[in-house]
Amino acid sequence: MVATAPERSTRSRSWRWTAFTGVSLLALVTIHMVAHHFVVEEIGGLRTYQHVLDYISTPIIFVIEGVFLVVVTVHAMLGLRSVLFDFGLSERWRRRLELGLVTLGIVTVVYGFILIGVLASRA
């Protein structure tokens, strides 16, 4: 019953990264939500097409939104992993799930960067 652990514990890694990305998101989500709902004087604070292009083409904004995309995707994938692991999956299915979530996360980030990259280039 005693588990054999590697020299450095890896099992706490997902919890630590979930907590770290979560804390980071407190700031990043706040920035994102304020920027997109509380700045522009339109209904709901929603930006028009040109507003969006002007916004995303600003270098510092591009970086912040890019970091936000990566952090929120990592947090989402870790959260999904945690929920799905609670179903008591076998070791084989856990590995498959982790591979699937890593793939989904990479696809999400790549698509997101393509999206904001194209929009930034149009400004």
Partner 1 sequence: MTTETTSTRRLRVHRFKRGDDAPHVEEFDVPMGEDATVLEALRWIQLHGDPSLGLRHSCFHASCGTCGVRVNGRERLACVTKLADFSGTITVDPIANLPVLLDVVVDMATFFAHYPDPHPIVRESGFLPEAAVADDLDGHERYEDCIECGLCLSACPVAATDDSYVGPAALAYAQRLLEEPRDGVDRNALLDWADQDAGAWRCHAAFECTEACPSDVRPAQRIMSLRKELRHRRSEQGRKVPEQAAGEEAT
Partner 2 sequence: MSETRAPFDRERDAGVEEILRGRRQPAPVSRKLPGPIAWFDLRSRNTGHLAFSLNRVTGLGLVAYLYLHLAVLSQLLGGEDAWNDFLEVATTPLFLGLDVLLVFGLLAHGLNGTRVALVGSGFVPNRQKALFWSLMAFGAIVLVYSALHIFGGEA
Sign of CA dihedral 72, 74, 80, 82: negative
- Looking at 26, 59, 90, 91, which residue binds partner 2 (CB under 8 A)? 26
CA distances in angstroms from 123 to 54, 65, 88, listed in the order given: 6, 16, 49
DSSP output for 83-103 = HHHTTT--HHHHHHHHHHHHH
Name the minimum Å distance from CB 82 to partner 2: 9
* 92 counts as binding partner 1 under rule CB under 8 A: no
Token pair for 85: 């692991």
* 79 counts as binding partner 2 under rule CB under 8 A: yes
* 8 counts as binding partner 1 under rule CB under 8 A: yes
Residues forming the site for partner 2 (CB under 8 A): 15, 19, 22-23, 25-26, 29, 33, 37-38, 41-46, 48-50, 52, 72-73, 76, 79-80, 83, 86-87, 108, 111-112, 115, 118-119
